[in-house]
Chains A and B, each alone.
Chain A
Amino acid sequence: MDLVTPQLGLLVWPALSFLLLLVVLRKFAWKPILESVNERDQQIRQALDTAKEAKEAMVRLQADNDKLMAEARAERDLMLAEAKKTRNLIVAEAKSKAEEEGKRLLDLARQDIANDRKAAMTEVRNLVANLSVDVAEKLLRKELEKSDSQQAYLRQQLDELHIPSN
């Protein structure tokens, strides 16, 4: 029966000790430990939140960068295309201008040549005419040395004139 009969001393001392333990540990152990744990939990939660925000910001920045890059690339492509177009335009223009100029120069040359030929022909014609006149003069002079021939010639000339005989 000794086993299940509580003794007075073992009721009083444990009760007092436990109460003391409860009061002291609550103030000097449980409170600081639990507060520290809570504080740390909060710090960890904050750190995690911050990290998450930073990650989101990074993603946002990355997206912005990508967008900017894409925009820049598009702009570059556009500029290149425009430059190419402009170049083609300039080349084409220059080509047509050159062609035109060439044609004009050709025309001018052709005209010059034509003019020169005309002048040359005229000169030749004049020369031939003068020569012919000279030859004819010489022939005529030789022909008309005789009087009858002069006469005949006059007559012929007169005949040719068809002067009415009135």
Chain B
Amino acid sequence: MQLTVPVTLAIRCSLFLVTLLSVVLSSAALFANPSASGPTTQNGTHEVATEAKEHSTDKSHSDGSGEFDASKVILHHIADSHDWHLYDHRDEKGHIHPISIPLPVILWCGGQWHFMMSSAFEHGHAQPQSGSLTFQLDEHGHIKEVSGLPVMDLSITKNVASMLLSVVLLLSIFISAARSYSRSSNRMPSGLARFLEPIILFIRDDIARPNIGEKRYARYLPYLLTAFFFIWINNLLGLLPTGANLTGNIAVSMVLAVFTFLITNFSGNKHYWSHIFFPHVPKWLYPIMVPVEVVGIFSKPIALTIRLFANITAGHIIILSLISLIFIFKTLAMAPVSIAFVLFMECLEILVAALQAYVFTLLSALFIGLATAEPEHVAHDAH
């Protein structure tokens, strides 16, 4: 546990830094927009700006105002989409053609399933028909039925595709790592397992054991390991160019937090529940304390959700804001500055990727530990 103090401190500091930077830069990016709508200079940088402008308007499918809108670009990049956009191609006539990988669209609408590829929408320019229904993309990129029927969208979006890729990666990495143990006669790891074993043992010995306790930790270890590596690898995949912002999506971080929530509350012992509904306070404080404790049950997973989502999204926003500065200032001179800052932020993000996976795992272990602790242990920890 002595190791966690500097680590927690480091987390706090980096969180503070990231939050501060994200606030400053995203506000700069958002407020810089009106100033960018001044008279367009006819110099060499015009082309860059135009490209960015068209790029952004193409994504938003909304206005043709033709000005670079950093907040729109950034929000588009951190949001999910139905196709995996790679880059834009401009033909001789100056038309923008987005080049992207089409992904499967799965819809439940009007009492039946509809399957198609996202390319059928032609980036919002077409309205594909399936059965008797016609679908279209709205300005946010969501799929709507033309007549307004409710649509249940279970498409393999960019985020889902990226996640499935991470699942395949995780399975192949860890199953081959596990095989390397059984191959060796003296149970020595080889190859990738050699790198992974210290991390696995760190999670076992420094996260699970001290927080959950020697007696029960083994039961929850598979969950903690899976959560850690799932978050970590998806954080890293999100940092790659054209990567999906999976862990920075609130739905995904919520799913993970819900897993922790369910595990925590289903393994909560008598002492855990009695602490919530019959806390050790005078009876007349119960009307205050019991609601507070009940809120505490739900605030923990909500905190988990928002922490992961906000940290990863903030990192992406900072990097995109820094890149957007080039287009906001409309000068190539900004590029080296932006790139230097982006490089620094990418390095920080690589750290944050591991750190957030660690924090999520640590807090999950802590919550499970609190819910399953024997009374005397809790009393001991409290003092």
Contact = CB atoms under 8 A, between A and B. Distances in A.
Interface of A: 2-15, 17-18, 20-22, 24-26, 28-34, 36-37, 39-40, 43
B163 interface: yes
A21 B165 CA distance: 12
A58 B63 CA distance: 88
Nearest to B107: A9
Contact of A3 (B78, B178, B186, B259): B78
Given A3-B75, A32-B181, A37-B197, A17 B167 contact: yes
A8 B230 CA distance: 20
A34 B204 contact: yes
Contacts of A8: 152-154
Interface stretch (B2-10, B47-55, B110-118, B244-252): B244-252
Nearest to A24: B171
A9 B246 CA distance: 12
A22 B186 contact: no
A22 B223 contact: yes
B131 to A, nearest CB: 20
Contact of A29 (B75, B174, B188, B259): B174
A25 B250 contact: no
A10 B80 contact: yes
Given A36-B181, A36-B182, A10 B226 contact: no
A36 B230 CA distance: 22
Contact of A40 (B188, B223, B246, B256): B188
B95 interface: no
Given A6-B254, A18-B255, A40-B188, A28 B175 contact: yes
Interface in B230-261: 230, 246, 249-252, 254-256, 258-259
Main secondary structure, interface of B, reads: helix
Contact of B178 (A12, A18, A20, A29): A29
A111 B328 CA distance: 151
B103 to A, nearest CB: 11
The interface centre, meaning the residue of B177, B187, B249 with most chain A CB atoms within 10 A of its CB, is B187
Contact of A25 (B79, B156, B164, B222): B222
A33 B183 CA distance: 12
B80 A7 contact: yes
B167 A37 contact: no
24 contacts: A3-B250, A7-B80, A7-B153, A7-B251, A9-B153, A13-B154, A14-B256, A18-B226, A18-B256, A18-B259, A25-B175, A25-B225, A26-B222, A30-B200, A32-B178, A32-B182, A33-B177, A33-B197, A36-B178, A36-B181, A37-B201, A40-B186, A40-B187, A43-B186
Contacts of A21: 167, 170-171, 226, 230
Given A15-B255, A22-B223, A28 B187 contact: no
B85 to A, nearest CB: 16
The interface centre, meaning the residue of A4, A10, A17, A24 with most chain B CB atoms within 10 A of its CB, is A10
Given A4-B250, A24-B171, A25-B174, A18 B204 contact: no
Given A6-B250, A14-B255, A29-B178, 4 more contacts: A13-B154, A14-B252, A18-B226, A33-B178
B89 interface: no
B221 interface: yes
B361 interface: no
B193 interface: yes
A12 B153 CA distance: 10
Contacts of A12: 154
Q: Which 3 A-B pairs have the closest CB atoms?
A: A6-B251, A29-B174, A10-B251
Contacts of B186: 40, 43
A30 B182 contact: no
Contact of A10 (B152, B182, B249): B249
Contact of B160 (A5, A13, A18): A13
A93 to B, nearest CB: 75
A22 B262 CA distance: 14
